[in-house]
Each structure stands twice: as C-alpha cells, then as structure tokens.
Amino acid sequence: RSQAEANRLARYDSLTGLANRQEMQLALEKALDDISPASPEAALMLLDLDRFKAVNDTMGHPVGDELLKQVSKRLFRVVGDHGMVGRLGGDEFKVVIPSFANTKKLAELGHDIISQLSHPYMIDGITLTIGCSIGIAVAPQHGSTAEELIRNADLALYAAKADGRGVHRFYEREMHAGAKHRKRLEDDLRNALTNDELHIAYQPQVSTTSEKI
C-alpha cells in the first residue's frame, strides 16, 4: 500500500487528483509517438485561470485551493473521453488530446471549457467568479516534438491573454515572430538601463486660451 501511494503521488497532483506535470509530459510524448496515417494528429491545450491570483490574495490560500479543486472537477468533466487533463502547478492546466485534432471540434471544446469554468463557484457561502484563457497547438503542423508543441501552445496562450482573456487561440506562425520581437526589445531595454542610455523628455502642455504652461 505504501508503494502504491508513493507511485500515485509521483504521478498525480496531491491537491486536485489530476495528472501532474511529469505524467502529462509522458502523455504528450505518447500521443506524438502514436501519430500515424490512421491517427494523423494530436492536440495540446494550455489553460491559465483569469483572476485566480486576486482570489488567492484576498480570500486566502485555503479558498484558493478549494477553488482549484472545483475547477479541476469541471475541467475533467468537460474534456471527458476526448483527452487527458492535468495540473502543471498553480493555476495552470494542460489537456492532451490524442487522435482528435479537428480545428472546429477543438474550438468547440475550448469554448465549452471557458464557458463551464466561468460559471460562478460557491465556497464557504461566498460566490466567486473567475475566467480561463486557452492556447492550442496541433501536431504535426505546429510542432512534431513535445517541446515545440508546448512552446507554441504557450505562445497561443499569451495571445489569448493579450486579446482580453476569456478566449482561446490557436498557434500561428506570426506569434513566434512577435515573441522574438518582445525578447529583443526586453534585451535592448536592459542594455539601455545598464549603459545609462535612457532619458526622460518632458513635453509641456500649453493652454490654447491663456498660452500658459
């Protein structure tokens, strides 16, 4: 029993009972290995809860933990037999969907997940409402390795959050170019700070009626 419990803890998240990060990585790698003419695609969804941090900060971690448990149950129920659901940590979740990569159906599933997770939650007599953003990448067109698929689903998730949250986005090639541009801009700003190359220009505001600054 002790060995069985150790094996369970090594594979599943202790809070929610969902598969943990390591188990989800294995599931994704297996889904990619199983791609064949009969099952030509697989999909990965990365989910991030919107406004969860505010709940944790204001209501406390026990309420946050209970909220994560309820979210996990809803997510598990919505995904059903379509794929495997796991928690990566914090408010991040992953869904691996083998042999089910029809874009329209994935979009419908993404919409259903967002809709279900956005319904109010009741915890200790308090009604809480959060949201969910989803990034989706499909193999092999968005990546043939687990690392590529995770990176591109993460870029799609970033785009979903940038588009106002509460939406799902599929990976597009332009997202990678945007990420490289942001990284280059960040590096340039760090170098500019180090080399004291930034200065502030004050632009006076002048009243057109009195001509006073």
DSSP string of 49-97? EESHHHHHHHH-HHHHHHHHHHHHHHHHHHHGGG-EEEEEETTEEEEEE
Of residues 48, 76, 36, 45, the one with CA closest to residue 138: 45
Q: How far apart are CA 103 and CA 171, in angstroms?
A: 11
CA-based nearest residue to 28, from 178, 142, 165, 157: 142
Given 91, 112, 163, 196, which residue is catalytic? 91
Instruction: Put the strands of the sheet holding 131-139 in their side by side order.
Output: 84-89, 92-98, 42-50, 131-139, 168-170
The helix or strand, by DSSP H or E, that contains position 137, with its residue range, turns out to be strand 131-139
- Known active-site residue 91: yes
**C-beta neighbour count of 64 within 10 angstroms:** 20
Reported residue count of the chain is: 213
Q: Which residues of 1-29 are buried (b: 16+ CB within 10 A; e: fewer)?
A: eeeeeeeeeeebbeebebbbeebbbebbe
**Token pair for residue 172?**
């597009």
Active site residue ranges:
91
